[in-house]
Structure 1
Amino acid sequence: MQLFSLEGRVALVTGAGRGIGRALALGLADAGADVVCLARTGSEVEAAAEEVRARGRRALAVTADVTSQAQVTEAVEAALDRFGKIDILVNNAGINIRKPALEVAEADWDRVVQTNLKGPFLVAQTVGRHMCERGYGRIINVASVGGAVALRTGVAYGASKAGLMHMTRILAMEWARYGVTVNGIGPWYFRTPLTEKLLQDEQYVAEILARTPMRRIGDLAELVGPVVFLASDASSYVTGQVLMVDGGMSVYGF
């Protein structure tokens, strides 16, 4: 089990203020990592960092917008100044604007794609330079089943997540020689602030469950194991992969 330990490692998690990002930040702390919590909302990211400290790990709260290269650079420099290294990056920050394709405005497209695709690239590139120089790193991109299968009212979201999945493969190919692995996870529906309103609609939930072989919504704790695996030495020969954590949804057939 020592293969799964993250003792002595430093992780940076984007979108760590709530939802999936917060759960993963705490899960990495439970596995032994010190955590840099990054998000746009200062109060939320401070609260997440405090929860990490309550678990006996060191934490740094950083407020930044991942779509800004200047803010990303400043955030990574702050993390390196505090901890001296970044071993693990979890690219989680993301948004969705749910509209039929004919109603998507240019501003909607730009906001979703910049947050879900440009942002992860800027963070991965900035942290990746440090990792490649050190000769070690684990990058995990939080994609979605929406990047692999077509979902309704999510053209910009689906396109951005498909791009993120392919970016994962290309970075894995380029950076493997430096000892850096790049993988991803593809969640389906989990209860988060982003999905809370949708999951109050009983008919919508029934449709989700009908497409999910395991017939239930995921629990955030069920994302922690896959991410700890990809962040640890247990996955030392795994790169360029996107692990679907979806209750079987992405292999569902009619």
Structure 2
Amino acid sequence: MILDRFLLTDRVAVVTGAGRGIGAATAVALAEAGADVVVSARTKDDLDAVAERVSAVGRRAHVVAADLSDPDTVAGLAETAREAFGRLDVVVNNLGGTYPRPLLDTSTEFLEQAFRFNVSTAHALTRAAAPVMLAGDGGAVVTISSIMGRVSGRGFLAYGTAKAALAQLTRLAAYDLAPRIRVNGVAVGSVATSALDLVLDNDEVRGRMERATPLRRIGEAQDVAAAVLYLASPAGAYLTGKVLEVDGGLQAPNLDLGLPDP
């Protein structure tokens, strides 16, 4: 059956930023498909809650509460997966995010921090994971990029630049690691996670965002998790170096920060 191609039975995945939102939904989705998961983020209580959801569907979760802004710490998750579960098949580089700032308030240091948090960490984990995957059956890497990596909007210089770099890293890594490791990405639009709480709690702003989105709604974490599962599973076996746009059809930002002319 075609649905069997979406299964990850007895595979092992690492998901970063897995405490809430997209990362948590993705970890649970992979577990529902049959994978054991290493879940990592800063807050242990959040990870424990995700681990309970993983256990509820009959799979195992290994919790790593850590500051993942350090690339060396992120890289260590590959060996953690091997030690905990004996193998590694899927990596989901979900770590990322940067506060919006206008260009004149964006220092070079701030830009470099955004790049390190969104790109360097993904590179570090992918590089560490590859030998572990190649020692087994190969695997799949999925990065989480953003619509702001391909469109323009005021205030998103650091974030958009980093996410564009992450998308290109995805394409280039796919060539380097083919054919046994596939590398793909998901470029997300506005998704209802804690990062957007302040915006989405305002009915007027939320309404404007929904009207500016062709599908007339804000995305849900499971929308992204479903795309990740497709890319990580045998269902996506003939894709590598691709970035799926899971953004409700956006061709421009649906949130205007209202920044004035300089």
Q: If the length of structure 1 is used for normalisation, what is the TM-score?
A: 0.92
How far apart, CA to CA, are the structure 2 residues paired with 1:124 and 1:116?
Answer: 13
1:231 match: 232
How far apart, CA to CA, are the structure 1 residues paired with 2:51 and 2:222?
Answer: 18
How far apart, CA to CA, are the structure 2 residues paired with 1:239 and 1:115?
Answer: 24
Q: If the length of structure 2 is used for normalisation, what is the TM-score?
A: 0.90
1:81 match: 83
How far apart, CA to CA, are the structure 2 residues paired with 1:69 and 1:216?
Answer: 35
Match of 2:53 among 32, 51, 54: 51
1:181 match: 182
C-alpha deviation, 1:251, in angstroms? 7.8
2:201 match: 200
Match of 1:12 among 7, 11, 14: 14
2:34 match: 32
Q: Is the 8 A contact 1:23 1:220 kept in 2?
A: yes
Q: How many corresponding residue pairs?
A: 251
Residue type of the alignment partner of 1:61: V
C-alpha deviation, 1:72, in angstroms? 2.6
How far apart, CA to CA, are the structure 2 residues paired with 1:151 and 1:84?
Answer: 44
- Deviations 1:100-135, CA, capped at 9 Å, x for gaps: 111123443233221111111111111122223435
C-alpha deviation, 1:42, in angstroms? 2.3
Q: Is the 8 A contact 1:184 1:243 kept in 2?
A: yes
RMSD of Structure 2 on Structure 1 (CA): 1.8
How far apart, CA to CA, are the structure 2 residues paired with 1:224 and 1:166?
Answer: 21
Deviates more, 1:60-69 or 1:27-36: 60-69
Instruction: Say if 2:8 is the partner of 1:22.
Output: no
Q: What secondary structure sits across from 1:249 in the alignment?
A: coil
Residue type of the alignment partner of 2:40: L
C-alpha deviation, 1:4, in angstroms? 0.8
Instruction: Say if 2:126 is the partner of 1:139.
Output: no
C-alpha deviation, 1:76, in angstroms? 2.2
Q: What secondary structure sits across from 1:185 in the alignment?
A: strand
> Structure 2 matches for 1:48-197, cutoff 5 A?
48-177=50-179, 179-197=180-198
Q: Is the 8 A contact 2:47 2:65 kept in 1?
A: yes
Residue type of the alignment partner of 2:176: E
Q: Is the 8 A contact 1:188 1:218 kept in 2?
A: yes
Structure 1: which 5+ runs fail to align?
none
Q: Is the 8 A contact 2:6 2:229 kept in 1?
A: yes
Residue type of the alignment partner of 1:194: A
